[in-house]
Structure 1
């Protein structure tokens, strides 16, 4: 573990403590880049008012790591699923492991699961098989869904529409698509997770025109760290690893385009996340 402290690791210009506690609904803290300083990362998040973290489990091994973190740190919870990139690994043993994980109180959602036709690291057929299997597990467990979709909006909506009466809540995490796709998800009564993508002037401009279409009771915020470092930061970050302590800068950008205050957006997304994940915390 490093000897840096929660107060001094981030440059002064990047320290931002909002008035209201926040929930980061998508933090990839099982990533190897957090192995050496996880305690400091959690401490810095708390200094930045990011009091609740949902750690993403993208396969059995990472889901178990996320659960271990949730058991170790107060205010940390886990998801458990198989990412579409790894859909070809889905089998009966994985399904059994997931069923066992869903019985744990630390696990608050099924996923990250879904469809990714952008890279197709697993074939579309394998992705759909694994996705529908996890939808069935979500229906059986009653847990909400933490969903990934890239370049597969139409097919995703078709599948979700056929399952909508059987599953509870679902969030499209790290939404980056267009207005038609957004409204298709909202019409299915889904939630939307936004990341630092909206802070990226190279590719996120279109989201700025869409955020006001998302009701605050359907909107949640996330870092998706260590990826998607916000490009609206007022100072450079050594190493460029994203972390939960930077979530307030994403909230600030979303609030700007939603035409509400940082405090209003932060409070609303926290309430929404607590309700969605069924967590009763002080966040």
Structure 2
């Protein structure tokens, strides 16, 4: 039986209060959630939280490009140790971000490639981030794609051409409430119309990217908003909501190999 799964939550974050955020999600039939690791300590914290909710939460382990400059010489060993835990289902959030360049581009590339090598070694999927660095990121991914155990382009905000390039590598596309933004979401909406059902994953990137089509007092996004984002996408694509739910759920099970947790 299909439910909803949010593949992108930034916990711990003081704007997301546990266990309330989990309870609200479960009440909205969001039965699975993936906590994003963006540096070693945060990856450890995400795993610790995931272990408190063994039936519901999972986590990733990685170094975000913003934090690449702060990576210690043994960061790969630390990530590998975390990834030995069955609750860690992907390497990342990793990639390139040349928008703000909080870390030097050369450092970003080096730290990213090391994580790709680790993902290949462990045969775990990669959880990708990219901003204003598509050409460089795609070139590097292309050299590793045949050895990767899958990948998702987290919080995709690119255009149709970029999406098609990622799809050619066999990657999944993570769609957030950005698609609901009347102005900024135009290119994403055009891409989502052409996104194959068997390549779509849903995420909030909470507490960020609150869907602008939701009218509530709180502007902190949370996993419970996944059904709203999904309904918007289904209407956009003229697709039955139940069909979209089934596809996205199965895609999540396929990529992260977590289906056994939901069989009972």
TM-score by length of 2: 0.96
**Alpha-carbon distance between aligned partners in 2 of 1:39 and 1:195, rounded to the nearest angstrom:** 23
Displaced runs of 4 or more, over 3 A: none
Q: Indicate yes or no: 2:67 matched with 1:59.
A: no
Determine if contact 1:196/1:230 at 8 Å carries over to the other structure. Answer: yes
Determine if contact 1:176/1:204 at 8 Å carries over to the other structure. Answer: yes
**Alpha-carbon distance between aligned partners in 1 of 2:21 and 2:113, rounded to the nearest angstrom:** 35
Consecutive unaligned residues of structure 1, counting only runs of 5 or more, are: 1-18
User: CA offsets, 1:137-166, max 9 Å, x none?
Assistant: 001110000000111111111000111122
Q: Indicate yes or no: 2:239 matched with 1:257.
A: no
Q: Specify the alignment match of 1:70 in structure 2.
A: 50
Consecutive unaligned residues of structure 2, counting only runs of 5 or more, are: none
User: Shift in Å at residue 258 of structure 1?
Assistant: 2.1
Determine if contact 2:159/2:190 at 8 Å carries over to the other structure. Answer: no
Determine if contact 1:154/1:181 at 8 Å carries over to the other structure. Answer: no
Q: Indicate yes or no: 2:248 matched with 1:248.
A: no
Q: Mapping of 1:92-171 within 5 angstroms?
A: 92-171=73-152
User: Shift in Å at residue 64 of structure 1?
Assistant: 0.8
**Alpha-carbon distance between aligned partners in 2 of 1:278 and 1:91, rounded to the nearest angstrom:** 30
Q: Specify the alignment match of 2:157 in structure 1.
A: 176
**Alpha-carbon distance between aligned partners in 2 of 1:24 and 1:249, rounded to the nearest angstrom:** 12
**Alpha-carbon distance between aligned partners in 2 of 1:33 and 1:174, rounded to the nearest angstrom:** 19
Partner SS state of residue 74, structure 2? helix
2:190 to 197, 200, 209: 209
Partner SS state of residue 146, structure 1? strand
User: Shift in Å at residue 282 of structure 1?
Assistant: 2.5
Q: 1:158 to 1:124 in 2, by over 3 A?
A: same
Q: Mapping of 1:40-59 within 5 angstroms?
A: 40-59=20-39
**Alpha-carbon distance between aligned partners in 2 of 1:256 and 1:209, rounded to the nearest angstrom:** 13
User: CA offsets, 1:19-57, max 9 Å, x none?
Assistant: 9510100111212222xx310110000000000000001
State the superposition RMSD in angstroms.
1.3
TM-score by length of 1: 0.89
Partner SS state of residue 242, structure 1? coil
